[in-house]
Amino acid sequence: MSNPNIEQLTAAQKANAEVMMALVRTAFNGVERLTALNLAASRELFNNTVAGTQQLMAAKDASEVAKLNSELAKPGVDKWMDYSRNVYDLVTEMQKEVTSVMEAQYSTFSKNASSAVAKAKTSAPVGGEVFAATMQSMLDASTKAFGSMTGMAKQLADIAEANMQVAAKTTAKTTSATSAAAKKTAAK
């Protein structure tokens, strides 16, 4: 005859191990993708720097250097914004994956805890109802707290998205202004 507490403990440990493996897998995938993104960005930066340096070295006068500087600056800013957007997208996707795993785990935990509380109510000795009611109250409070944390994470993601959009617009305006100023300088 097996002990139900041991079976429950074993099942809980197995579930926790699966959750941890899912989280570790997500982290490794994220690090791998971020590394690939950084390597591609570094390679592109190097190639653009070499090409830009060669163009600047071939310039014949100061006005041509000023013109080249303005032309070379715009793609760099655009590339930086693309890179930032890709990093943001990667982090957002990883956050969603982690949240999904955690929500699934919490849902399972909540169901199991509710079941245990219900069993405790039916098989409790005299006065056990108070204990079961306390456990149910704690479960309800943790569910509300988890819901609040999930809502806050979504709000933070929305704020970060809005900040990325503002940064993109500001960068575009700054790039346009810089280009215009460089053209004026080159024309003199």
Of the candidates 89, 69, 66, 88, the one whose C-alpha atom is nearest the C-alpha of residue 77 is: 69
pLDDT at 186 over 60: no
* Contacts of 130-139 spanning 24+ positions with Cβ under 8 A: 139/110, 139/113, 139/114
Rounded CA separation 170/163 (Å): 10
For 165-184, what is the mean pLDDT?
66
**Residue 129 CA neighbour count, 13 Å, CB half:** 2
Percent of the chain having pLDDT more than 90?
4
Structural domain containing residue 164: 4-187
| C-alpha 157: how far from chain center | 8
pLDDT digits (tens, 9 = 90+) for 45-98: 899 889 888 988 888 888 888 888 877 777 777 788 888 888 888 888 888 888
Query: Other C-beta atoms within 10 Å of 182: how many?
Result: 19
Helix (H, G, I), strand (E, B) or coil at 109: helix
Stated pTM of the model:
0.59
Domains contained in the chain, number? 1
Cα angle value 164/48/38 (rounded, 5°) = 50
Task: Say if CB 40 and CB 20 are below 8 A apart.
Answer: no
